[in-house]
Structure formats: structure tokens, C-alpha cells
Structure 1
Amino acid sequence: MKKVIHKAESRGFADHGWLKANHSFSFAGWFSEDRIHFGALRVLNDDIVAPKMGFGTHPHDNMEIITIPLKGVLKHRDNMHNDWQTVVPGEVQVMSAGTGIQHSEINGSVNEELGLFQIWIIPDERNVKPRYDQKVFKAEDRQGQLQTLVTSFSDKDSASLKVHQDVKLSRIDLLENNSFQYILKSENHGVYIMNIAGNSSIENEDLNSRDAIGISETDSFKITAKSKSELLFIEVPMIKL
């Protein structure tokens, strides 16, 4: 088993006034030579956006982009949709940038901060037709069990959102002293686990809120909640850039 530990305070941080961003991997003005990616996972940003503020229209291409709102109201608009799309906690948004897309993301509230994870996955197919999707995932469906959010188009799971890469994004909420055994898709995959909240232990590594661990070269691992915990799993093929 191979492990990499990323404590919350070791992340890159940028304070733009209207945006406070924590970067798990090199992004924008923050660069760390040993934190470029974890397999096909290229970006995991933990953002807080001030009320009525956001990211103006900007382009992307050849990237699978996944957004998980944690608090507040996200408003999304792109050149495939003329109307603003509302995305709130409990929903997940996916976007295949493919041949190119222009989009805007703003805080849709006038008085509440917007908190979200934005995840970029390197696709296994380039220059696909751009697409957008979002879906509701009920919190009760991840109590003590794995709730799958995103998988590949080739995966038979019909309840998950789809992207152009052999990934599995999932969440679980565990009560204190509860355990869960995570089983990987294949020996060529690794899992990047973000401890969203609470305290957990994964393979004898203690994780507090926003600590993360990347695990590869194994077929399974055990998670034990030391307090009520919420965890996000990003399983990806361990490609090399």
C-alpha cells in the first residue's frame, strides 16, 4: 500500500477578498512540485465565495469538471444554457468541457457565503462534445453506506452522474466508532479521500476536518470514525502525466 498525506494546513491558499480558496493540488498562483495531481485527479479546490460574487465567463476544454456545493446557493450559466442553473447542497454538478465551453459560476445569495468543492478530472477521451448535468443525492442515502455520485459512461451504475474517465466519486457519513471497508475498482486505481468534517482514522492515519489521504497499490482499506464524520472518495486510474 502506498499513502500520501495532505494535511489541511499544507494546502495552497489564496485570499482574493471575494474568494477564499484552498488548493489540494497546484493551481493558479500556487505551485508545489510534488502536488501536481493524484492519478487522473488534477484539481481539488475548497472554495468560499462571498455573497453576490463569483467567477465571470471563462473557458475550459478537455477536462471533466465536478462541483459539489457544501453550503449556500451556486448559480451556473454556460454557452449551452441561456438560463442560470441553480445548484444547492445535496446536488452534484458535472461538466465535460471537451472541445471547449464558456461558463460562469456565481454565489446566488445576497447574504450567505457559498462553499463548494471543485474537482477536475483528466479525461480518457479528448475533444468530446461538451455536456452538462446535475443531480440530487439525498443525505440519508449515505448514512453508514457508500453513496456513489459520479462514474464513467462505461459503468453500469445508472443512478450516478457520468464523466469521460474510469472514476468513482462517492461519499459516506459515519457515526462515532463506526467503520467501513472501501474496496477499489482495480489494482490500477487509487483513492483520494477528503475528510470533509469530523475525525477519522484510515490505515492508522488520523484525519481531522479537511485533511486528506491518497491511497494506492492496494485492493482495499478500512475507515473508522473517531467522531461523527463525513468523507469524500475520489477514485481514479493512477495515470502519469
Structure 2
Amino acid sequence: MISIRKADERGRVNFGWLQSRHTFSFGSYYHPAQLGFSRLRVINDDRVAPGTGFDTHGHKDMEIISYVLQGKIAHRDSSGNEEILSAGEFQLMSAGSGILHSEFNPSSTEPLTFLQIWIEPNASGGAPGYQQNNFGRVPGLTLVVSPDGTEGSLVIKQDMRLYQLLLVTGESHELRLNPGRKAWVQLIDGELEVNGTRLQPGDGAALSDEDLLTFTAIQPIRALVFDLP
């Protein structure tokens, strides 16, 4: 079964310095039918104006993934991490028992665009953690997040895997899921068919009871694929 979350149906937020599209209920945006999918709780498509950002705020018991699409993120947290992420980089912050952090667009001219993703962990508490990496632009599926760090992926406290998917026009790729698993596909760029259903940029697809995922690029695509419990 495939259910599509269309890009233009997402929640819209405009604070001037921040423009965001919320796939699921978040902050001031609430939709009773869009409260998350499996352990996936947030996919926010954030656009941050130059020289602005998120002031210091706290999180607890959440796995927070950021994927930079354009520009740079300046990150600072209460564990002493101070990092710059550039376009193409993934960041995974495990909030654990509690962490304070800020995210800022350090450029005075270039906007920042990134996906903010929240995953519910399978264990509460514990020490906060921070990881980041650029996995490049390897064609096909690249594992970027897993529970065990396979293939150099970032390690998350949940039985899930996140892949980066890159395909050129006409190219196809498959991903087989274990029985009972679910999947979410978030298309970033291009035009993609997933098991015969077409997606446009910003669309998301929730897949249940689909053991084999077949991806075909109608135009060159970049997408994220979540393998979920």
C-alpha cells in the first residue's frame, strides 16, 4: 500500500527569517491525520535567511537528523560541539537525557536550505551524541544512518536505516525490505516512480506491506529512503 503526502499539502510556516514546509504536525501546525509514520516524527523543509537561525533551545529523547541542501549550517551545542555543515552533509544529534543547541546560517548573502528530520529513539536517556559526514554523490542507494554503523553510516538509537538515493533519467534501482517493515520515500529533486506511483519534488510516500521497492527516475533524482520498523 502506498500513500502520497503531496508537497503542496504540507503545513506552511513563514516567520520572515524562516520559511518551512512541514510534512507532519509540528509546532503551530497540526493535522490530525499527519502525526508521523512509524518512528518518523518530523520532516521539515527549512529555508533560513542569511545571518539568521534558531536560537539556543533544548531537546530530549529524540534522534535529530539534518541534511543540508544549500548553503551552510553553523552548529553549537551544550556538549561542546561547534561545527559547520556544508551542502551535501548529514548531521545526527542524539538528544539523549537532554541537550541545548543552536543552528545558524553563517552567510551574509546565501540562504540555507536543509531537511530537519526527527526519529523517535528505542531507548530513553543516555548521554547526548553528535555525528556528521558527507557521503558524496554516489549513484544508487547509499546508507547514511543505521543502528550499527554499517558501511561507515551514522549510528542511530533506533532499528531504522536511512539511504540517500541518486538516479539519472531512465535508471532504476531496487531495495528489498524485511517482512513487516515500512518505508518512507522523500523526493528532493527530479521526478521519481516508486512501485509505479509518481512523485514530484517535495512529495513523500508512505509504504506498508511492500517487500520490494522499485525506484525509476523519470528525471534525474535525489531522494531519501527510510527503512522503518
TM-score of the superposed pair, with normalisation by structure 1: 0.92
* Contact 2:165 2:223 (8 Å CA) reproduced: yes
2:49 maps to amino acid: A
Match of 1:13 in 2: 12
Residue 118 (structure 1) aligned with residue 116 (structure 2): yes
Return the alpha-carbon distance in structure 2 between the equivalents of residues 164 and 56 of structure 1: 26
Overall identity of the aligned pairs, in %: 36
Partner of 1:91: 89
The residue type paired with residue 212 of structure 1 is G
Give 1:67's aligned amino acid: S
Q: In structure 1, what is the Cα distance between the partners aligned to 2:190 and 2:14? A: 25
After superposition, the CA RMSD in angstroms is: 1.1
Q: Is the 8 A contact 2:143 2:151 kept in 1?
A: no
Compute the displacement of 1:90 (Å): 2.1
1:73 alignment partner AA = K
User: Match for residue 146 of structure 1?
Assistant: 141
C-alpha distance in 1, partners of 2:152/2:183? Answer: 21
Unaligned runs of 5+ in 2: none
The CA deviation string for residues 67-87 of structure 1, in whole angstroms up to 9 with x for no partner, is 0000101000000116x3101
Task: Tell me which stretches of 4 or more aligned residues in structure 1 moved more than 6 Å.
Answer: none
Q: Map residues 67-86 of structure 1 onto 2, 5 A cutoff.
A: 67-81=66-80, 84-86=82-84
Q: What is the match of residue 159 of structure 1?
A: 152
Q: Is structure 2 residue 195 aligned with structure 1 residue 200?
A: no
Deviation at 1:158, TM superposition (A): 4.3
- Deviations for 1:162-200, whole angstroms, at most 9, x for unmatched residues? 11001111111111111111112x223211101111011
**Does the C-alpha gap of structure 1 residues 156 and 13 become closer, same or farther in structure 2, counting only changes over 3 Å?**
closer
Query: How many pairs does the alignment contain?
Result: 229
In 2, distance between residues paired with 1:6 and 1:85? 33
Instruction: Tell me how far apart the structure 2 counterparts of residues 121 and 183 of structure 1 sit (CA, whole Å).
Output: 21
1:176 match: 169
- Under a length normalisation based on structure 2, what TM-score does the superposition of the two structures give? 0.97
Unmatched 5+ stretches in structure 1: none
2:132 is equivalent to residue 134 of structure 1 = yes
Shift of 1:8: 0.4
